[in-house]
């Protein structure tokens, strides 16, 4: 039986291998997700990263304003020093 196609780029799959061989090795990879991703969860909370608090909620806040807000700038700044191993997620590749 045929399986499902794999759409992940080879570079991402290679990072998975590197992570499992050396889990702490991703700490040098800078997270860029907070600069070009906006996650909206089922209750409407908008997040730049799942590891940080929401920057607003689509039910009461304008997404464009939340994106440009001081809170968003603080989270982007904090993400520069983040050491979580989530850099392998699709938001960074």
DSSP 17: H
Q: Which helix (H) or strand (E) holds 46?
A: strand 45-47
52-87 burial, b for 16+ CB within 10 Å, e for fewer? bebbbeeeebeeeebeebeebeebbeebeebeeeeb
What local confidence, expressed as pLDDT, does residue 72 receive? 98
Report pLDDT for 55.
Answer: 98
The reported pTM is: 0.69
| Rounded Cα–Cα distance for residues 54 and 66 (Å) | 9
pLDDT in tens, the chain (93 residues): 588 888 888 887 887 787 788 777 666 667 778 888 899 999 999 999 888 999 999 999 999 999 999 999 999 999 887 777 665 555 555
56-57 and 39-40 strand pairing: unpaired
Helix (H, G, I), strand (E, B) or coil at 26: helix
Helices H, strands E: what count in the chain? 4, 3
Sorted by where each begins, the domain ranges of the chain are: 10-92
What is the predicted pLDDT for the residue at 82? 79
């Amino acid at each position: 039986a045929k399986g499902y196609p794999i759409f992940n780029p080879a570079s991402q799959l290679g990072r998975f291998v590197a992570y499992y061989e050396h889990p702490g090795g991703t700490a040098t990879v800078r997270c860029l997700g907070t600069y070009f991703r906006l996650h909206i969860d089922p209750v409407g909370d908008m997040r730049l990263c799942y590891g940080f608090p929401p920057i607003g909620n689509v039910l009461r806040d304008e997404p464009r304003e939340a994106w440009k807000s001081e809170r968003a700038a603080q989270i982007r700044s904090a993400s520069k020093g983040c050491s979580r191993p989530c850099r392998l997620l699709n938001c960074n590749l």
